[in-house]
Amino acid sequence: MTLRVAILISGSGSNMVRLVEDMVGDHPARPCLVLSNVASAGGLGKAQARGVPTAVVDHKPYGDDRAAFEEALHSALVAHGTQIICLAGFMRVLTEGFVRRWEGKMLNIHPSLLPKYKGLNTHARALEAGDTQAGCSVHLVTPALDDGPILGQRAVPIQPGDTVDALAARVLVEEHQLYPAALRDFCESVSKHNE
Ligand code: GAR
């Protein structure tokens, strides 16, 4: 049975595009939804252009009521038959209640070599620390931020005189290879397990 993958974004959605483009042919999954918490997210148009259904669940009207926001998110995901979630530049922290409902079925890409630099400003922190390499990680989402089991990583050498933007651009190239490969492996093992 083909697995149904929802991709959650907040911005340009370049990782989302790579995931969508990879889910063809013998891939065990297909994209069922691209959902954003930001109505103006550039990725929404890219998903529509590729024939993927889109939805917006804006967090702002919910204010501090994270549970109500996440209930709306959950309903949209269920309405589209979601079985697996990929967070791809989705910039909302999810509460334990939501994560537990999707635990073992939700992947995230993070722009650092976890466990280093959880949270924001990862590239600036790597440069400030004088690291010789940066990178990206795909991991399963657990209630603690950027902390779940790692499914794959790619390292990127830091060059003398590197800037945050230059480093981020080189890491993003690796993200675009890593995430589709990690999702494919993950879906293949889920499919085998379901046989
Ligand atoms: C990516 O670099 C991703 O790793 C990062 O946001 C960017 C989204 O780019 N995610 C995080 O920082 C999550 N904490 P994209 O919208 O072009 O895929």
How many A from CA of 50 to the centre of ligand 1?
A: 20
The domains of the chain, with CATH numbers, are: 3-194 (3.40.50.170)
- Name the β-bridge partners of 6: 33, 85
The catalytically annotated residue of 27, 110, 123, 139 is: 110
How many A from CA of 70 to the centre of ligand 1?
A: 20
**Structure-token pair, residue 95:** 């509460």
Pocket test residue of 107, 109, 153, 154 for ligand 1, highest count of atoms within 8 A of CB: 109
Task: Return d(Cα 148, Cα 158) in angstroms, integer.
Answer: 25
Query: 133-140 and 150-157 as β-strands: parallel, antiparallel, unpaired?
Result: antiparallel
Task: Return d(Cα 157, Cα 160) in angstroms, integer.
Answer: 10
Per-residue pLDDT of the chain (195 residues; tens, 9 = 90+): 899 999 999 999 999 999 999 999 999 999 999 999 999 999 999 999 999 999 999 999 999 999 999 999 999 999 999 999 999 999 999 999 999 999 999 999 999 999 999 999 999 999 999 999 999 999 999 999 999 999 999 999 999 999 999 999 999 999 999 999 999 999 999 999 988
Residue with tokens 């969508």: 20
pTM beyond 0.95: yes
